[in-house]
């Protein structure tokens, strides 16, 4: 167990319900104009605002509720390359370096490079890990390797049983979701960004098809450049503009323990996993297994996403609050009037009893965790695209409109994406090529299939 370093803030009761993100006090005044407006206060929006502000670019970030009120504070917290596609490797590798730098630049984010160990019980599991590693030799982090049964035992000396082996990614690590995004947003504000919370962007103002401003619930902002970083909400926002964003959100449930002894770093397999927190407790969840709210988009797009969900261990439809709330949200609205983002500001999620089961499984392997209790449970949305890669870059149909969404591993990829979007929107060259991530790749694929 890591010695307690920093007490983490407790969840807060707010007008939007119980939220995990650290309290953040934003700007109250809405400027009449700004060079860039960002929609969404998760890690993608906050990181983009930060890197724009460092460039002295006037930027306003509008968040409909609170900073990091959904995915970015409800994530598990792994910063990992496991199952990574080659095209995404430059994003992750740069994000690891940026998180390490941000730790000293902006204050404690909880970033720790302590490695992640993916355990294997069977030769079949080992073969799957080996197959991924064989295909990832060109981009896997330094030292990523297969471990023998004995090497796993040496890394986990308190384990009550032997494993067949494992896959260790020593350059992987973790972040504390409950504080990280708020820290980035605070740094962006200190650098000159305006961060306006409780302020839904209702829609774009267009002239001759080009962005000229945004309508918000607090007023109008004149601008020529807008970034939609609304994550789970991006499809709804863009749909009102006639732009199809093929993404779907699913829910992963998890929890955390009281302070307890336990294994080093992070790791797990299948339905149980751990992450050592900086306060001496552990985040617990599963490596696989998600739930898909039975929303209109969930039902409509499920077949298209079925192969990806199968790779994630399968997904069950959930008919809970999010599914019912979806039925009352308009798909088309006048951006000068009340929007769906004011009708429902925060997704409720699905709190399944994953943490209790994960704690029981962890305690079977690590007896020192037997006295631990589950201190908190929560669920977080993961936003997926059909090919598992994010959507980044300009929206071709609307000059001045850009998008950063579909980031299932937002905290793993966030800093690099934010830096790249800041560069791209200001006419600079991003550190990695955005062409593989543009929204148009999906219409290209559809046209190719039709022609074939």
Structural domains of the chain, with CATH? 25-115+171-451 (3.50.50.60), 116-167 (no CATH)
Distance CA 428, CA 299 (A): 40
Residue with tokens 């650098």: 191
Give buried/exposed letters for 156-180 (b at 16+ CB in 10 A, else e). beebeeebbbbbbbbbbbbbbbbbb
Three-state helix/strand/coil letters over the chain? CCCCCCCCCCCEEECCEEECCCCCCCCCCCCCECCEEEECCCHHHHHHHHHHHHCCCCEEEECCCCCCCCCCCCCCCEECCCCCCHHHHHHHHHHHHHHHHHHHHCCCCCCECCCEEEEECCHHHHHHHHHHHHHCCCCCCCCCEEEEHHHHHHHCCCCCCCCCEEEEECCCEECCHHHHHHHHHHHHHHCCCEEECCCCEEEEEEECCEEEEEEECCEEEECCEEEECCHHHHHHHHHCCCCCCCCEEEEEEEEEECCCCCCCCEEEECCEEEEECCCCCEEEECCCCEEEECCHHHHHHHHHHHHHHHHCCCEEEECCHHHHHHCCCCCCCCCCCCCHHHHCCCCCCCCCCHHHHHHHHHHHHCHHHCCCCEEEEEEEEEEECCCCCCEEEECCCCCCEEEEECCCCHHHHHHHHHHHHHHHHCCCCCCCCCHHHCCHHHHHHHHHHHHC
Q: What values do phi and psi take at 335, rounded to 5?
A: -65, -10
Q: What is the pLDDT of residues 371-417, one digit of tens each?
A: 999 999 998 888 999 999 999 999 999 999 999 999 989 999 999 99
Confidence band (pLDDT; 50, 70, 90) for 2? very low
* Arithmetic mean of pLDDT, 118-141: 93
Distance CA 139, CA 86 (A): 7
* Arithmetic mean of pLDDT, 50-70: 98
* Arithmetic mean of pLDDT, 96-117: 96
Confidence band (pLDDT; 50, 70, 90) for 196? very high
pLDDT at residue number 250? 87
**Most confidently predicted of 30-39, 131-140, 377-386, 436-445:** 30-39
Residue with tokens 């490079």: 113
pLDDT at residue number 303? 80
Six token digits for residue 90: 């430059």
* Arithmetic mean of pLDDT, 66-82: 94
Distance CA 173, CA 113 (A): 4
In this prediction the pTM is: 0.95
Q: How confident is the prediction for the chain on average, in pLDDT?
A: 92
pLDDT at residue number 115? 96
pLDDT at residue number 125? 94
pLDDT at residue number 324? 86
Query: Minimal CA–CA distance to 405: which of 198, 204, 231, 156?
Result: 231
Confidence band (pLDDT; 50, 70, 90) for 298? confident
Distance CA 292, CA 298 (A): 7
For residue 154, list its beta bridge partners: none
Reply yes or no on whether the pLDDT at 421 is more than 60.
yes
Q: What is the pLDDT of residues 198-240, one digit of tens each?
A: 999 999 999 999 999 999 999 999 999 999 999 999 999 999 9
Residue 132, burial from CB neighbour count under 10 angstroms (0-12, 13-18, 19+):
middle
User: Are the beta carbons of 269 and 119 closer than 8 angstroms?
Assistant: yes
Q: What is the pLDDT of residues 300-358, one digit of tens each?
A: 887 887 776 666 666 677 787 888 889 899 999 999 999 999 999 998 765 667 889 99
Confidence band (pLDDT; 50, 70, 90) for 443? confident
Q: Bigger pLDDT: 452 or 264?
A: 264
Q: What percent of the chain has pLDDT over 90?
A: 78
* Arithmetic mean of pLDDT, 262-280: 94
């Amino acid at each position: 167990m890591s010695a307690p370093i920093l007490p983490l803030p407790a969840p807060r009761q707010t007008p939007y319900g119980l939220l995990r993100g650290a309290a953040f006090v934003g700007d109250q005044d809405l400027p009449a104009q700004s060079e860039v407006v960002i929609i969404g206060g998760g890690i993608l929006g906050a990181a983009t605002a930060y890197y724009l502000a460092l460039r002295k670019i006037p930027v306003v970030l509008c968040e409909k509720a609170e900073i990091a009120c959904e995915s970015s504070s409800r994530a598990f917290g792994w910063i990992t390359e496991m199952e990574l596609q080659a095209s995404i490797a430059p994003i992750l590798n740069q994000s690891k370096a940026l998180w390490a730098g941000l730790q000293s630049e902006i204050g404690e984010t909880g970033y720790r490079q302590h490695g992640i160990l993916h355990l294997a019980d069977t030769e079949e599991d080992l073969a799957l890990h080996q197959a991924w590693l064989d295909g990832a030799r060109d981009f896997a982090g330094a030292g990523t390797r297969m471990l023998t049964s004995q090497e796993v035992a040496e890394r986990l000396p308190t384990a009550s049983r032997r494993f067949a082996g494992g896959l260790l990614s020593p350059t992987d690590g973790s972040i504390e979701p409950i504080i990280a995004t708020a820290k980035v947003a605070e740094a962006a504000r200190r650098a000159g960004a305006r961060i306006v919370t409780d302020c839904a962007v209702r829609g774009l103002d267009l002239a001759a098809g080009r962005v000229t401003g945004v309508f918000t619930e607090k007023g109008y902002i004149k601008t020529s450049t807008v970034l939609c970083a609304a994550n789970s909400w991006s499809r709804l926002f863009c749909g009102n503009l006639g732009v199809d964003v093929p993404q779907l959100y699913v829910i992963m449930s998890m929890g955390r323990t009281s302070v307890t002894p336990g294994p080093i770093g992070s790791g797990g397999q299948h339905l149980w996993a751990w992450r050592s927190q900086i306060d001496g407790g552990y985040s617990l969840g599963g490596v696989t297994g998600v739930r898909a709210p039975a929303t209109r988009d969930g039902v409509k797009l499920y077949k298209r996403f079925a192969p990806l969900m199968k790779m994630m261990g399968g997904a069950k439809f959930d008919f809970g609050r999010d599914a019912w709330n979806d039925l009352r949200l308009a798909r088309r609205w006048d951006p000068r009037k009340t929007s769906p983002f004011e009708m429902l500001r925060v997704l409720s999620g699905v709190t399944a009893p994953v943490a209790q089961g994960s704690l029981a499984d962890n305690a079977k392997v690590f007896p020192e965790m037997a006295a631990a209790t589950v201190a908190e449970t929560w669920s977080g949305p993961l936003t997926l695209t059909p090919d598992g890669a994010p959507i980044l870059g300009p929206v071709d149909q609307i000059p001045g409109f850009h998008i950063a969404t579909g980031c299932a591993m937002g905290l793993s990829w966030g800093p690099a994406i934010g830096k790249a979007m800041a560069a791209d929107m200001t006419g600079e060259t991003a550190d990695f090529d955005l062409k593989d991530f543009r929204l148009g790749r999906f219409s290209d694929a559809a046209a190719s299939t039709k022609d074939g």
